[in-house]
Amino acid sequence: MFRKASGYPSDREPELLAGLDLGTSKVTVVVAEREPGSEEAQIIGVGQAPSNGIRKGLIVNLDQAVRSVRQAVSDAQNMVGQDITEVTVAFGGGEVTSIRTKGMVSLGRTPRPVMQLDIERVIEAAQADVAVPANQSILHTIPVEYSLDGNVGIDDPLGMTAIRLDIQLQSVIVPTSTIQNVMNCVDKAGLDVAGLVLKPLASALGVISPEEALAGAVVIDIGGGTTGVAVFSDGRPKHLGLISVGGDHITNDIGSVLKLPLNKSEELKREISVFTAPEDPSETVDFVYNGRNYSISKNDLHEIVRCRIEELCDMLVRPQIKAAGIPMLPAGIILTGGVSKTEGIDAFVLDIMDLPSRVSSPIDANRMPPGRNTQEYAAAAGIIRYIAERERDPFRYLDNPLIRGVSADDGGRPSIVPETRVRIRLDENNKVSGPGFNPLEGIKNAFKDLF
């Protein structure tokens, strides 16, 4: 349908990167360009469509979800004037389990440089005791911390010299059916899946700065149907969590308590300050809806919104933060997502959680189209950053390391390394040779075996 119109030579054309964010309220497609040889990508377009067939982050009607994806893709293609054929998909829904494990491998009797094969070995050692239920799969395997000869805080051990390599590893486990439904939806929409990313991680990457990630921070993405929690420290995600409570709960509360239609409840929700109560307790909001007169107390609206957000932060988000085991979070809490637009929410969360809080739009907001660069688009912007970080360091986020089967070679223990991660070969000079990691083929082949 579209043709590239470019003044670049064919071998110097910018690379097109595309991300798809499957949200409860909307489906978003973000498109970026990257110059050959560059690590930075420039966002050039953002398409969107109302989200149908998706509830609480889960696909509940495949045909409706497919139509929403196609509509968002068409919107993005009209904006950038180029075809989109492959996307990295951010999704969030259902049960998400984050498990922390440790592993250790010996590098020999005498110190030697750490090689890529050693990192693979220590990752497999850390995953040896992780029991994944038959109906679930590991979506992300994220190295949390390396240590060499007991020296902790190593960011990248590759090429460093030691005799022992240790690792702390985070495995993010989700239902296999959730992954398969997402891939079926994207496939039916006529797109190839380049990779999958859990939405809390994508949202965090979209708003957190390197300095905040290094110091320690929590990103809370309060969306339409779910809330994502990502705890960062030492530059890496230490814990990822997903809560099936979002802005729709606040809307439903207002509608149920005050006997209002949901679309009017949604409108009123956006007008309330959650931190400051109305100066006059008797102040009301008066309107006519479908020929009926309504008079709603602003104080009642304030209390309904305040109670739901307080419950979310204190009872649901706080345990997720504690699960990370990080004693200090100097950079505090970063709020994003549509609900973070609620007036006074940063001061309210500070009051509840006793941590510095701020509301953040995407880091690349100034590069995104006006009106499509606010908090709701944090996950979409984060997908592009996720792609760049994964390519820069293949071991930073191991994509979808699904069980590839049991063979005699691994002694009956399923391996977490994707089957396309070819074992490293050494040439006569003891240098690494062989092809690299292809996450897309790993996903396709793993699901071909499972289904």
CA separation for the pair 310, 83 (Å, rounded): 44
pLDDT attached to residue 434: 42
Burial (CB count <10 Å: 0-12, 13-18, 19+), residue 336: buried
pLDDT attached to residue 312: 95
Query: Which residues does 333 contact at the CB level (< 8 Å), separation at least 6?
Result: 217, 218, 219, 220, 349, 350, 353, 355, 356, 357, 358
Residues 334, 336, 339, 344, Cα dihedral to 10°: 40
pLDDT attached to residue 97: 92
Query: Does residue 243 contact residue 312 with C-beta atoms inside 8 Å?
Result: yes
Query: Does residue 147 contact residue 153 with C-beta atoms inside 8 Å?
Result: yes
pLDDT attached to residue 262: 87
pLDDT attached to residue 376: 95
CATH topology of domain 1-94+173-208+363-451: Nucleotidyltransferase; domain 5 (3.30.420)
The phi, psi pair for 103, rounded to 5°, reads: -145, 155
The phi, psi pair for 166, rounded to 5°, reads: -115, 155
pLDDT attached to residue 419: 38
pLDDT attached to residue 404: 32
pLDDT attached to residue 422: 33
Q: Which residues, in sequence order, are bridge partners of residue 195?
A: 88
pLDDT attached to residue 6: 43
pLDDT attached to residue 313: 95
No. of H helices and E strands in the chain? 12, 23
pLDDT attached to residue 400: 60
pLDDT attached to residue 280: 80
pLDDT attached to residue 64: 97
Query: Does residue 205 contact residue 19 with C-beta atoms inside 8 Å?
Result: no
CA separation for the pair 414, 402 (Å, rounded): 9
Instruction: Give, for all 451 residues of the chain, the pLDDT tens digit.
Output: 333 444 444 556 789 999 999 999 999 999 999 988 787 889 999 999 999 999 999 999 999 999 999 999 999 999 999 999 999 999 998 889 999 999 999 999 999 999 999 999 999 999 887 888 889 999 999 999 999 999 998 989 999 999 999 999 999 999 999 999 999 999 999 999 999 999 999 999 999 999 999 999 999 999 999 999 999 999 999 999 999 999 999 999 999 988 888 888 888 888 888 878 887 878 888 888 777 888 888 888 889 999 999 999 999 999 999 999 999 999 999 999 999 999 999 999 999 999 999 999 999 999 899 999 999 999 999 999 999 999 888 889 987 644 333 233 333 333 344 333 333 334 444 444 444 445 455 445 544 554 4
- The model's pTM is 0.85
Architecture of domain 214-361: 2-Layer Sandwich (3.30)
Spans of all domains in the chain: 1-94+173-208+363-451, 214-361
What is the Cα 199 distance to its own chain's centre?
3
Number of neighbours of residue 318 by Cβ within 10 angstroms: 14
Domain pair 1-94+173-208+363-451 / 214-361, same fold: yes
